[in-house]
Amino acid sequence: MQRRHVFHAATLALALSLSVGALPLARAADQVVRLGTMSGPDAQIWEVVREVAKRKGVDVKIVEFNDYAQPNAALDAGDLDANGFQHRPFLDSQAQARHYKIVSVGLTYVAPMGFYSRKVKSLGELPRGARVGIQNDPSNGNRALLLLQKEGLIKLRAGAGTGGRNATPLDVVDNPKRLKLVELDSAILPRALADLDAASINTDYAVKAGLSPTRDAIATEDLRGPYANLIAVREQDQDKPWVKPLVEAYQSQEVRDFLARQFHGAILPAF
């Protein structure tokens, strides 16, 4: 009889330990988030986010990439739970081209893209026939062409670059200086700068190359526009319990303060 009571007590204790202890462990496992981002400034920011997210019960495992095409492919394949590196036009372009079911769940920062040069101090100084590097992906190449148009260097066909239609060099209808537009991968443009008269470079690659957008850019985009970066997840995951705390961790005062302290206006909060 006494042995039966001991057995029942042990069984009850085990059941209680499983019911009380297993739930937090399961929840913690559910909250591990594999997040893809670009090496450099993006990864630096996500390290700050990771510390904030820990306090919200989310364990962010940061996976760094050096190619803009890879984080969405990895997310779509299920190798990542989320990514944070791109703006809406880039996501829309990739989703349309590759049929990704990926959605935005929150904004992160805006980093105005700029043109850089080791040969001239302004785009207006570019000589006739100058070689100008622009990105070869549709959304960022579009940004570069719109900025060249804004600066009066080229004129695009009516409707190009607006309404979801990315402009390409084929849309240039007026090019008084006969600029030679050289389309290159975004990651290559900083290294190619010495061989070009000017180049459009995304802020993350510019910073990694030792360029300061506020000091070195000879032309920059307006801060107002559709190019705020975002956090993306698969469509079926957008209501998962870890999504809201992850976004809140990014859109925290700690991250806002880090952006101001680390990037001095080159990267600004979009939240």
Return the domain boundaries, the chain.
Answer: 31-111+226-269, 114-220
pLDDT of residue 225: 80
Task: Look up residue 142 and give its amino acid.
Answer: N
Report residue 78 as tokens: 């299920």
Is a pLDDT exceeding 80 seen at residue 217?
yes
- Alpha-carbon gap, residue 21 to 24, rounded angstroms: 6
Query: For the domain bounded by 31-111+226-269, which CATH number is listed?
Result: 3.40.190.10
pTM of the full structure: 0.81
Q: In CATH terms, are 31-111+226-269 and 114-220 the same topology?
A: yes
Check whether domain 114-220 has CATH 3.40.190.10, yes or no: yes
Tell me the pLDDT of the chain averaged across its residues: 90
Q: How far is CA 123 from the centre of its chain?
A: 27
pLDDT in tens, 66-105: 999 999 999 999 999 999 999 999 999 999 999 999 999 9
Is a pLDDT exceeding 60 seen at residue 107?
yes
pLDDT in tens, 44-73: 999 999 999 999 999 999 999 999 999 999
Is a pLDDT exceeding 90 seen at residue 11?
no
Report how far apart, in Å, the C-alpha atoms of 224 and of each of 3, 113, 156, 218, 243 are.
76, 12, 21, 18, 27
pLDDT in tens, 117-137: 999 999 999 999 999 999 999
Q: Do 84 and 108 touch, CB atoms closer than 8 A? A: yes
Q: Do 158 and 172 touch, CB atoms closer than 8 A? A: no
Report how far apart, in Å, the C-alpha atoms of 152 and of each of 71, 123, 125, 147, 258 are.
35, 9, 12, 9, 36
- Alpha-carbon gap, residue 118 to 211, rounded angstroms: 11
Q: How far is CA 40 from the centre of its chain?
A: 11
Greatest C-alpha distance within the chain: 101
Q: Do 228 and 72 touch, CB atoms closer than 8 A? A: no
**Cβ-based neighbour number of residue 73 at 10 Å:** 16
pLDDT of residue 262: 94
